[in-house]
Structure 1
Amino acid sequence: MLVTLSIRDIVLIERLTLAFQPGLCVLTGETGAGKSILLDSLGLALGARGDSSLVRHGSDQAGVTAEFDLSRQPDHPAFAILREQELEVEDTLVIRRTLTADGRSRCFINDQPVGVTLLRRLGETLVEVHGQFDTHGLLDPRTHRDLLDDYAQIATQGQQVAASWRAWRQVEQARLTAAEDAARARAEEEYLRHAVEELDQLAPEEGEETALAEKRVVLQHREKLIDGITQAYGELSGERGAERALASALRTLSRLAERAGGRLDPVITALDEAANDVSEAARSLQALSADMDSDGGNLDRIEERLFALRAAARKHGTDVDGLVGLRAEMGRKLSLIEDQGDLLQKLAGQAETTKAAYVTAAKALSAARTKAAAQLDKAVAGELKPLKLEKARFVTKVAPLEEEGWGPGGIDDVAFQVATNVGAPPGPLAKIASGGELARFMLALKVVLAQVGTVPTLVFDEVDTGVGGAVADAIGERLARLGGHDLQVLVVTHSPQVAARGAHHWQVRKKAAGGRTVTEVHPLSRTERLEELARMLSGAEVTQAARAAAESLLSSPPLL
């Protein structure tokens, strides 16, 4: 709820801080005293259009700060908005806006600078204003379906419908994707078959390019390699080669070993191992030489294979190793063409089944909405007659949507409509009702929906315009009833019957000071309330009869 409202240099207000309480809060005062300035200031804090004319004459800048306490509503929508914007989340929410004389404004939420669009979005969750000139919230048709669902207490059904919607759309998207893939594959089928045939004939293997390139380099230097291998083999196994030298050394030392007392044993062992290693190296050189002799005519064949693989890779815009994966993907697409009938039929069946489940759940939700709509209409109708709207009709229209309009919220469009004249068709609230009627319609609807709304502060601007007596008292009773639903209701009124119902009462008045006029707002004691009610009853001259009538209103406001 709104805790404090601080206003600086707006129109006739120089410095003003108001502390508000829960329940019904009334603001009264003579016409022109500045009550509308308070609402304009609150609207500015909540993101309304900033007009430089609001800045008090002679001041460079105006400012409004509104503090809200949301500790009683831990799941209030404002918290989700703050988290979404990565702003600090606290039970106390402070909104501040400044406006300069040249029309520039700045907005802050908990001292963090924000844009006016975010401020307006947040403001709509905090305060609803209902009056002749400024109305939103219930007038927005986008809110009507959720309000009806809350009134009907069918959140579980709504969740089931949303889950069914998601399941259907997931399968339907898979079906559409498969159909698109199959269509593209059919369009390139001839190309795919030709490309697959070419790749099958080529039969590329992963890592083949590297192996062929290495072998090609070897064959390109074959003669030099063979000469080197032959020379090396001769150094190892020729008449003066290492093998003979090692063998000779071993024989000599072996004959002397017994006489050396074991000192030659490590040398003999090392020479023996070296002889074995040299023999193994010689055999390897022999084998390598034989392989290179046999590969003598393979260079052309290897180059032809390597060039063919690289040409295919260039043709398909990949590398040689990528040809294997490309062949697999082309094969998958061809398989999709061949199997598309079965796959699409399967997905179509699943889509039909999940759609049927969604429609069944949505129709059940629609039936619950229709039933609740009739109950809501009846409840609102019961509020209209005492508000001097006995000829008016309130209708909650639940209409089926075309399939393209279906969604997680179901298959219905919900709209609150009214007819103010007998025989006239109902139409949108904002277009059919006049200013005074509209505010009373909003009051009636708010009384019925009081338990399901999330906006903690309601503002009614002169909801009693053009009525008096029993009707004004009925308005006051309903406003007081709203204030008893853990809501804060602020009402600007000229009706003593409404003002007498308030739990808290402020008087707005103008006074001349220092050669200029300023607006002041004073909280009233019981004695001061009595005098204010008497003024509202009698006019300029307050009579004893008016005071007696005011005492009667204040002491025991009549109940309906």
Structure 2
Amino acid sequence: MLNQIQVRDFAIIDRLEIDLETGLTALTGETGAGKSILLDALGLCLGDRADTAMVANDAERSEVHVRFDVSDTPAARHWLGEEGLDEDDECLLRRVIHRNGRSQAWINGRPATRAQLEALGEYLVGVHGQHAHQALMRADNQRRSLDGFAGNLAERDRLASAYAGLRAVDDEIERLSGGHEDHQDRMDLLRYQLEELEAEALEADALHALEQEHRRLAGAEDILNACHTSLAMLYEGETTAQSIIAQAERSLEPHTDADQALAEACDLLANGQVQIEEACQSLRHFADRLEMDPQRLEEIDQKISRINDLARKHHTEPEALTGLAAALRDELEALENADTRLADLQQQRQALVADYHQAAAALSATRQTAAAALEERVNALLAELGMGGAALLIRLEYNADGEPGPNGLDRVGFDVRTNPDQPAAPLSKVASGGELSRIGLALEVATADTAELPTLIFDEADTGIGGAVAEVVGRKLRELAGHHQVLCITHLPQVAAQAHHQLQIEKQQNPDGRTVTDVQPLDTEARTRELARMLGGVEITDNTLSHAREMLERAG
């Protein structure tokens, strides 16, 4: 759900911070107070295009921050995880617009693109009205709404599995189905590359041993000098570490019975002499075996150089060459047996196509059944919402000969007839903003127990209605708020009275004389006064206030 919106220097909004809660929240205020501007600010963090006109006149940039709780939104959490942008159960979105036209975006503190904001926004918020994010008019969202209502997850999983198998087989067939000359050229290249790699490539351990031998031979003279110098300092020189330690031991030995600490120190000095003798023996043995071998050094030098050249040629690390050789060997073997493999793949494909069509037909059957039930439920709600002559018609076209796709062989479309004497047409072509909001409300209420979006926003859901129908719209929004967080911009007191929370948006003059928008949460008494204002009249009378209180009590 949407927890918080912070806006700074956006249009006529100076600075604003709104904390939002669960349930139904009504946003009310005079026309032009900035209610839709608030939605525009939110839309920026959901991927809308930036416009420098949004930057306040006396500012260099606008900033919008929004915070979501995604603990109950698995689709959003999955998307964030896939993109490497997850941050526990919280999702922070930030958008900045500069006056020079530059726009920046962040998701959980990490830089993001507008396309990423837009993709994530589809899992977080649904907006109904004449503003952006009218997901209702998109065919893929219409299909998802129908599938959610149908509860056909098992059928969709079966189809997805069949489609994934079919894609994998088709991809392999495509790789193996090139022209004969292409195959022969590729096999010749693979054989040449394998010959090179098998002659030079070493396993990681062998390569490490070769590099170690190279370091030893390249530094043989310096190593020998270091060994001889160390032997002289430790044991073989005029004044050595061994002789100094032995002298110290002899000096302390007569006094060891005076204190146990002295005895322990003498023992350690004796052990030190033994350690030095053993170290010197190791140094002598190593120095005796170490040889100057320029010819071997040159051989190793050339070998390592050839390995590094091969690694650069194949754009990989020297240690990965043996793995690359194995992969090329597998590819060559597959190409050499392409004809046999292709015959097997074609048989597999026939079986997978049959599985896919069975799964697509079963999925389509669930959609057909659900479409009739959803139409009936939505049309009954439209009648309650003052659109008695309107009807939603779900168009489902099954193409058995169609190209297999991840969503089946159906084309799903939502058509609407707004008046009985008019033909049905696609939703986007016949519905006005107010009608679209009410159709969206009816769909959301009808699918409330199956829809995944945590937050729904209704703008202009009350356009062109009033009286009893307005009260019904408010009740339906309140009903919907039992399953989702719902925000509603409204001018009707009948709708606002049904809200669990109410925010008043108003224009004010700041100390500098600039007109700015402010938002205030209303308590019960303030809500009563605001509802009384919305009920109309130049003067708010006791009767108007009484009516407003009655509306709140009845809604509660």
> TM-score normalised to the size of structure 1?
0.68
Residue 16 (structure 2) pairs with residue 20 (structure 1): no
Contact kept in structure 1, 2:3 and 2:67, CA below 8 Å:
yes
Equivalent of residue 104 in structure 1, options 92, 102, 105: 102
Distance 2:182 2:101 in 1: 62
In angstroms, what is the RMSD of aligned CA positions? Answer: 2.9
Contact kept in structure 2, 1:163 and 1:408, CA below 8 Å:
no
Q: What is residue 390 of structure 2 aligned with on the other side? A: 392
- Please report how far the alpha carbon of residue 343 of structure 1 lies from its aligned counterpart in structure 2 after TM superposition: 7.8
- Please report how far the alpha carbon of residue 427 of structure 1 lies from its aligned counterpart in structure 2 after TM superposition: 2.2
Q: What is residue 371 of structure 1 aligned with on the other side? A: 369
- Please report how far the alpha carbon of residue 168 of structure 1 lies from its aligned counterpart in structure 2 after TM superposition: 4.0
CA 403–546 in structure 1, closer or farther in 2 if over 3 Å, else same: same
Residue 38 (structure 2) pairs with residue 38 (structure 1): yes
| Matches for 1:175-324 after TM superposition, within 5 Å | 180=177, 184=180
- Please report how far the alpha carbon of residue 173 of structure 1 lies from its aligned counterpart in structure 2 after TM superposition: 5.5
Of stretches 132-141 and 449-458 in structure 1, the one that deviates more from structure 2 is 132-141
Distance 2:538 2:102 in 1: 41
Specify the code of the residue in structure 1 equivalent to 2:134. Answer: H
Q: What is residue 492 of structure 2 aligned with on the other side? A: 495
| Matches for 1:397-476 after TM superposition, within 5 Å | 397-401=395-399, 403-476=401-474
SS state of the match for residue 455, structure 1?
Answer: coil
SS state of the match for residue 462, structure 2?
Answer: coil
Distance 2:417 2:470 in 1: 22
Distance 2:501 2:183 in 1: 76
CA 399–9 in structure 1, closer or farther in 2 if over 3 Å, else same: same
Q: What is residue 70 of structure 1 aligned with on the other side? A: 70
| Matches for 1:321-336 after TM superposition, within 5 Å | none
Give aligned pairs, total.
413
Distance 2:119 2:343 in 1: 46
Identity %: 40
Contact kept in structure 1, 2:23 and 2:486, CA below 8 Å:
yes
SS state of the match for residue 529, structure 1?
Answer: helix
| Matches for 1:129-208 after TM superposition, within 5 Å | 129-171=127-169, 180=177, 184=180
- Please report how far the alpha carbon of residue 4 of structure 1 lies from its aligned counterpart in structure 2 after TM superposition: 1.0
Q: Deviations over 1:193-228 (max 9, x none)?
A: xxxxxxxxxxxxxx9xxxxxxxxxxxxxxxxxxxxx
Residue 516 (structure 2) pairs with residue 518 (structure 1): yes
SS state of the match for residue 395, structure 1?
Answer: strand
Specify the code of the residue in structure 2 equivalent to 1:184. Answer: H
Q: What is residue 9 of structure 1 aligned with on the other side? A: 9
Contact kept in structure 2, 1:88 and 1:110, CA below 8 Å:
yes
SS state of the match for residue 26, structure 2?
Answer: strand
CA 134–186 in structure 1, closer or farther in 2 if over 3 Å, else same: closer
Who wins on radius of gyration, i.e. which is larger? Answer: 1
Specify the code of the residue in structure 1 equivalent to 2:542. Answer: Q
> TM-score normalised to the size of structure 2?
0.69
Distance 2:136 2:464 in 1: 23
Q: Deviations over 1:244-287 (max 9, x none)?
A: xxxxxxxxxxxxxxxxxxxxxxxxxxxxxxxxxxxxxxxxxxxx
CA 349–71 in structure 1, closer or farther in 2 if over 3 Å, else same: closer
Contact kept in structure 1, 2:357 and 2:400, CA below 8 Å:
no
Specify the code of the residue in structure 2 equivalent to 1:495. Answer: L
- Please report how far the alpha carbon of residue 412 of structure 1 lies from its aligned counterpart in structure 2 after TM superposition: 1.0
CA 501–407 in structure 1, closer or farther in 2 if over 3 Å, else same: same
SS state of the match for residue 120, structure 2?
Answer: helix
CA 496–356 in structure 1, closer or farther in 2 if over 3 Å, else same: same
Specify the code of the residue in structure 2 equivalent to 1:32. Answer: G
SS state of the match for residue 392, structure 2?
Answer: strand
**Structure 1, unaligned stretches of length 5 or more?**
189-206, 208-325
SS state of the match for residue 56, structure 2?
Answer: coil
Of stretches 452-461 and 132-141 in structure 1, the one that deviates more from structure 2 is 132-141
Distance 2:16 2:152 in 1: 45
SS state of the match for residue 463, structure 1?
Answer: coil
**Structure 2, unaligned stretches of length 5 or more?**
185-198, 200-328
Q: Deviations over 1:102-154 (max 9, x none)?
A: 22221111222222221222222211111123342222111222322221111
Q: Deviations over 1:322-367 (max 9, x none)?
A: xxxx9xx99x97x98xxx6x98776555433332232122212211
Q: What is residue 82 of structure 1 aligned with on the other side? A: 80
